[in-house]
Amino acid sequence: MQDKKKNIKRSNIIQLIFGILIIILVNIISSYVFTRFDLTAEKRYSLSSATKEMLRNLDDIVYFQVYLEGEFPAGFKRLRNATKEILDEFRAYSDNIEYEFINPSKSDDPRERSDTYQLLVERGLNPTDLQVNTSDGMKKQILFPGAIAIYKDSEISLELLRTQLGMPPETVLNNSIQSLEFNLANAIKNLTTIKNPKVAFIKGHGELNELETADITRALQGYYVVERVKINGQLNCLTERDQVDSATTAIRNKFEAIIIAKPDSAFSEKDKFIIDQFIMHGGKVLWLIDPVFATMDSLQSSDATMGITNDLNLGDQLFNYGVRLNTNLVMDLNAIPIPLTTGSIAGQPQIEFFPWYFFPLVTPMIKHPIVNNLNAIKTEFISSLDTISVYGIKKTILLKTSPYSRTVNAPVYINLNILQKEPDERLYNMPGQPVAVLLEGEFESVYLNRIPPSIQFNREIGFKAYSKPTRMIIVADGDIIRNQLHYSQGYPLPLGYDQYIGQTFGNKEFILNAMNYLTDGSGLISIRSRELKLRLLDITLVGNNKLFWQLFNVILPIILIILFGITQALIRKRKYARSI
């Protein structure tokens, strides 16, 4: 009997020692081989390879101050927990990630809280006002669902809650959580990039001026060195030439990408040639073109205007690359409202808002990284475009109008009187019209077989017939990048903000994403195409069965523990009773 007890004891000791050895061995191996396991269906806890590489290359601490601490609704707690989980994932790949969660409303002194709020606004964070149900009734609560990332002597603010017009709160929250890795990783990239690439706004053809593009210029300066270049037939304005030897001239682009924003006058063949050769050498272009010229300025004075063809001499060039811009205007029932004076009372004008069908509100519907989860984008006098079959060019339609659209060909008579009666919905029966397209591949020069041999074989010019793999985006609306100016003081407003209806649209994010994709390819922006499934509880069902689920969650674990204890006791009793 004693020998049997000794054998059992020896066996237990051996098992214990064996288990300890396995744990030690696993720890030794894990110190040399790093790995993590993500068992979720959509791999929500797995970082992209681009993020991992960036984190491993950090040479100093990036410190995040996250202002999502305190008492707030469950949805914001989800956002807080998801942010903490992503930052913990970052720390698993780099010791240079540190973070702190801060409650900006922790002070009981109203003045101190107000000063804190003001400081956060000055540092670039936007507050969110909430109406919260409490036992004392409705209570107003101010939140700052954002963070500030600090690296060495630089800092950058980022919004963690991405609002989207027309989307339910649960979807907005889920999309915000989906975007966390991109937002946080992008902030790190911006802070740690030593030398930013150069991009240029083209001028000299009536493009938007510096005031009209002031806000997007400021936003782009967080990623790029932004310049403005007048081509004016200068061969070296976009490229530079180095003489390698007596027979060879190396040509490289000065800029990573160029932006052509709402030109209103024709391009000369020489300027087109310079842009074409910039593309052939791998340059990227964001084309923002109005095929039809129309403006609201005329409507303000006479209630009517004409939309006429805007001949920019770019049709053959864009056609050669794979796109035809149509000389029409798209009208859409899903449109932005504009203010109109409908009368006066006691000498005061009465203003009402009416949807202006020439200003379609475009909601991105595809999962491409450029437009995934973007807010609706406002447009003004936008046209449709068609894609042309070009060998080796991949085409992706980024933006379409709603299924309640129609097109009217130029010249177009535009009259405010159409707002005085209900629209005939039978006319707005066209499918969504494509208005923005991404082209990727190796392009053929529009000047192949069109220039004399003296130019084609001139070493100084260095004509190139086919491009390196490159990308361009073509949007049939120049106003998509134009910020409004304050109606009385004239200073530039944030891009996408409409001062008349007080709403902010997704124009700025679209332009930034477009430029990031053009210059960085898939890179970090590919993270934005990740989709996390929204698994929500049925609130009605939970409310109707609240008592049942409360008892179930409280009593069932206790019952299971008691049953487990009784079973263990019976097994041990039977086992040792037989031994005796």
User: Is the pLDDT assigned to residue 479 strictly greater than 80?
Assistant: yes
Peptide bond into 411 cis (omega under 30): yes
38-55 confidence digits (pLDDT tens)? 655 555 567 777 788 888
**HSE-up of 118 (CA within 13 Å, CB side)?**
6
pLDDT score of 138? 63
- Torsion over CA of 238, 521, 205 and 433, rounded to 10 degrees? 160
β pairing state of 97-101 and 62-66: parallel
pLDDT score of 220? 92
532-563 confidence digits (pLDDT tens)? 554 555 555 666 677 777 788 888 888 888 88
In DSSP terms, 444 is beta-bridged to 466
pLDDT score of 165? 59
CA pair distance 358, 49, nearest whole angstrom: 43
pLDDT score of 314? 96
CA pair distance 43, 192, nearest whole angstrom: 27
Which structure tokens are listed for 337? 């409202």
137-173 confidence digits (pLDDT tens)? 566 778 888 899 999 888 888 888 876 555 667 767 7
In DSSP terms, 62 is beta-bridged to 97, 151
Q: Which of 279-293, 377-391, 420-434 has the lowest mean pLDDT?
A: 420-434
CA pair distance 524, 530, nearest whole angstrom: 11
β pairing state of 154-159 and 146-151: antiparallel
Q: Which has the closest alpha carbon to 435: 549, 325, 578?
A: 325
Q: Which of 30-44, 282-296, 355-369, 540-554 has the lowest mean pLDDT?
A: 30-44
Mean pLDDT value across the chain: 85
